[in-house]
């Protein structure tokens, strides 16, 4: 196991009706003038936004608001949010929505207290200071409610990049599984896929002898395998929603990723797809992961055989471990398909002729040196082959 | 799943040589005058205490010290520590040792800033204020390094009771698995048993549909089952020590116990044993748990069958689930025996004739009403039978 530090000080309030505590939580964490940041549609229609405002008002906390966050959140709205926060002297940002809204809020939080362009943080500059952020989560997927991470797409060139820092880890996160019950099946399935991807990215390690984190990751994958189909079958199944919601947080707050090298190649390869085609990130991952895994499998066949047997219920073929590994990947892909996720380029509106552009952005964008690294280091030729496997 | 809150803001520094960061961590968390609290023997002999002092000195932090913590830590030393901290104007307590030292440190921390008797907190008064505590862990067992809990024995009547509060959750904990390599096999095994008990206490729930936390608990039990024998076989196995150490923290910071009722009857029943006979807490648990589980098993046979199949590798007997449940309990007990733990009263120096005293202290001590509750509510007759099963 590698040396590590782990610090996850977010205060979680989990369960039915917990959004009513928004005002008291903001107060507890020192907010006096709040920016409520959200997407649109359902947060407004469901009455959630009104309940949140009422909760703030009950505590005498003033607020301003900024809606319009889109999936794969954009830099344009971040700049707008930073300007608004400065004008209104906002001292706390309350994200009401899913990962996109939370990531946009984190970007704004980092930019308000920084003199330069917030995009610097998405080019590798560590975030050391930010306004405090709280979240009310409406989609179980990104894990941004408990993580120090944010992903933003720069509009001028559709470059999708991530930033990280404990300063943008939410001070509190309110998780009410009932709020996710109105999510359409496709977004629910994309969320499930994203959570499972966060687990696989940690599972694919080059660090040896990390049984405890292997087992924790497998535990969360098994949970998703059990609860995913139940929630697709019955969107109102509160218990299944609750199990998925806590698994989604645990999958990405890094408690099961400490002390081991991680992959993240699938995420990087997918980011180019959702940036260019604006597909759901989870849907892109459902297409990307099977291709990547088949391509890199021989780097450590036993690791893929292990997850195949422990999670996917495959019988170990001791004479041909690679057969077990392949069977596990096939079962994972069949699982994604069974919950309504696509399995190829056509399913996410991607085009074979764009592959050179995708590869160029992926391997050479934002100062990369022609490769991406993780479980295996991949160059342009590797990435071209992987994208072609998805066609 | 029940509604819950979860807040675990301890900063963990994990890995080789991390004790050298003691000074910088104390500084980071605002300590200027430190009480170094420890047991004795090995912490001194190994040179660890000197390394910690050097690290504090390097940061210009002054300190005083108080050794002498014993397993099943006593109230007498706590009073002494409180007096010393007040005299020396200590503003930070640094525990160097295992769960007993950390628990004693937490008790001192709560007492220094409280006008009354610190024992009030161990009779149910919530701890709302305390001096900050940091830890350098030398035994993987109690999980106190990441928990808001402390257990102390009052000397005059050997009453062993717990207190809890986020104020006594360590600000930081330094976990170097190499420091546990010198621990004798018996204490190592007792620690392994204690960690597994923390998992079982959470597993035995009356809350339905908690797949995510079930799976996480099973993951950590599987880890202990794999790594326990490896570390008993080779005490210098750093990787096995590391996996056990992180599992021990995760087993008790409650990330896998949220949203579900928990048991803790085994701990309560055992506490009377270690209080009266001063046996190792883990050894007492190895004797207690099989008896308790066999006694309460029929309350929910399927729960015991689940852990038997998922953790202990039993084949499910679908016609007789109780047979599978019993087989799982037998395998658990055989595991404890295999790592050197006792299995009956004789093994911990307990005497059958003391059972009435044990039961009286257990069920009526400290204002209890004649019963203890958890997975099942147990009265004096139940507890008498359970103790008799251990003879």
Whichever domain contains B56, its CATH number is 3.40.50.1970
pLDDT, one tens digit per residue, over B317-352 is 999 999 999 999 999 999 999 999 999 999 999 999
Q: What is the mean pLDDT of the segment spanning B161-188?
A: 96
DSSP A165-224: -GGGS-SEEEE-GGGGTTS-HHHHHHHHHHHHHHHHHHHS-S----HHHHHHHHHHHHHH
A2 inside domain: no
CA atoms of B336 and B338, how far apart (whole Å) = 5
- The per-residue pLDDT for B335 is 98
- The per-residue pLDDT for B157 is 86
Phi, psi at residue A135, to the nearest 5°? -135, 150
A168 shares its domain with A193: no
**Which helix (H) or strand (E) segment is B372 a member of?**
strand B371-372
Q: What is the mean pLDDT of the segment spanning B66-85?
A: 96
Domain that residue B152 falls in: 11-179
- CA gyration radius, chain A: 20
A6 inside domain: no
- Domain end: A179, A197, A221, which one? A179
* Pairwise CB contact (< 8 Å): A14 & B7: no
Q: Are A386 and A268 in contact (CB under 8 A)?
A: no
Residue B366 has pLDDT above 80, yes or no: no
- The per-residue pLDDT for A40 is 85
pLDDT, one tens digit per residue, over A218-259 is 999 999 999 999 999 999 999 999 999 999 999 999 999 999
- Domain end: A121, A152, A179, which one? A179
**How far off is chain A from B218, nearest CA to CA, in Å?**
8
Q: Give the pairing of strands A172-175 and A133-137.
A: parallel
Which of A9, A28, A145, A211 is the best residue to mutate to test the B interface, defined by the most B CB atoms within 10 Å of its own CB?
Answer: A211
A5 inside domain: no
pLDDT-based confidence at residue B152 (cuts at 50, 70, 90): very high
Q: Are A177 and A236 in contact (CB under 8 A)?
A: no
* Pairwise CB contact (< 8 Å): B14 & A8: no
pTM: 0.97
A170 shares its domain with A312: no
CA atoms of A3 and B19, how far apart (whole Å) = 12
B212 shares its domain with B302: yes
Determine contact: A313 vs chain B, CB below 8 A. no
Interface A:B, Cβ pairs < 8 A = 129
The closest alpha carbon to B152, from B160, B143, B144, belongs to B160
CA atoms of A195 and A220, how far apart (whole Å) = 9
**What is the residue-averaged pLDDT of chain A?**
97
A107 inside domain: yes
Query: Which chain B positions have a beta carbon within 8 Å of A227's beta carbon?
Result: 211-212
- The per-residue pLDDT for B365 is 82
The ipTM assigned to this model is 0.96
B134 inside domain: yes
Q: Which residues pair with B173 in a beta bridge?
A: B12, B135
Q: What is the mean pLDDT of the segment spanning A334-362?
A: 98
pLDDT, one tens digit per residue, over A297-317 is 999 999 999 999 999 999 999
B287 shares its domain with B311: yes
**What is the residue-averaged pLDDT of chain B?**
97
Domain count for chain A, please give it: 2
Determine contact: B203 vs chain A, CB below 8 A. no
Whichever domain contains B245, its CATH number is 1.20.1090.10
Closest Cβ opposite residue A211 in set B7, B216, B243: B243
- The per-residue pLDDT for A41 is 81
B6 inside domain: no
B253 shares its domain with B326: yes
A272 shares its domain with A378: yes
* Pairwise CB contact (< 8 Å): A1 & B242: yes
Residue A322 has pLDDT above 90, yes or no: yes
Q: What is the mean pLDDT of the segment spanning B242-257?
A: 97
Q: What is the mean pLDDT of the segment spanning B194-222?
A: 98
Q: What is the mean pLDDT of the segment spanning A41-48?
A: 92
Phi, psi at residue B316, to the nearest 5°? -65, 125
- Domain end: B179, B197, B217, which one? B179
The residue length of chain A stands at: 391
């Amino acid at each position: 196991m590698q040396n590590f530090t782990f610090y996850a000080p977010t205060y979680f309030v989990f369960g039915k009706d917990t959004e009513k505590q928004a005002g008291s939580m903001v107060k507890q964490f020192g907010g006096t003038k709040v920016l409520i940041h959200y997407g649109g549609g359902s947060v407004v229609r469901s009455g959630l936004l009104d309940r949140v405002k009422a909760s703030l008002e009950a505590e005498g906390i003033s607020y301003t608001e900024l809606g319009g966050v889109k999936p794969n959140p954009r830099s344009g709205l971040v700049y707008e949010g930073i300007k608004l926060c400065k004008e209104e002297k906002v001292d706390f940002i309350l994200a009401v929505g899913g990962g996109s809204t939370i990531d946009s809020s984190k970007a704004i939080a980092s930019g308000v207290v920084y003199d330069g362009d917030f995009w610097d943080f998405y080019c590798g500059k560590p975030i050391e200071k930010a306004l405090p952020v709280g979240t009310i989560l409406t989609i179980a997927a990104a894990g941004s409610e408990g993580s120090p991470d944010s992903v933003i797409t720069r509009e001028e060139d559709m470059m999708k990049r991530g930033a990280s820092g404990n300063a943008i880890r939410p001070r509190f996160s309110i998780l009410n599984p009932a709020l996710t019950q109105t999510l359409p099946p496709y977004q629910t399935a994309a969320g499930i896929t994203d959570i499972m991807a966060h687990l696989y990215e940690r599972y694919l390690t080059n660090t040896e002898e990390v049984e405890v984190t292997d087992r924790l990751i497998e535990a969360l994958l098994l949970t998703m395998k059990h609860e995913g189909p139940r929630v697709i079958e019955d969107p109102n199944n509160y218990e299944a929603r609750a199990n998925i919601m806590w698994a989604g947080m645990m999958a990405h707050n890094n408690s099961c990723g400490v002390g081991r090298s991680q992959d993240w190649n699938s995420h990087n390869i997918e980011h180019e797809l959702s940036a260019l085609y604006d597909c759901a990130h989870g849907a892109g991952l459902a297409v990307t992961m099977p291709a990547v895994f088949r391509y890199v499998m021989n780097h450590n066949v036993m690791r893929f055989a292990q997850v195949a047997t422990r999670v996917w219920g495959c019988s170990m073929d001791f004479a041909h471990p690679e057969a077990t590994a392949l069977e596990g990947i096939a079962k994972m892909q069949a699982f994604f398909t069974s919950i309504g996720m696509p399995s190829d380029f056509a399913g996410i509106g991607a085009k074979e002729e764009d592959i050179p552009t995708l590869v160029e952005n992926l391997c050479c964008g934002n100062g990369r040196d022609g490769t991406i690294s993780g479980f295996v280091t991949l160059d342009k030729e590797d990435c071209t082959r992987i994208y072609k496997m998805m066609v």
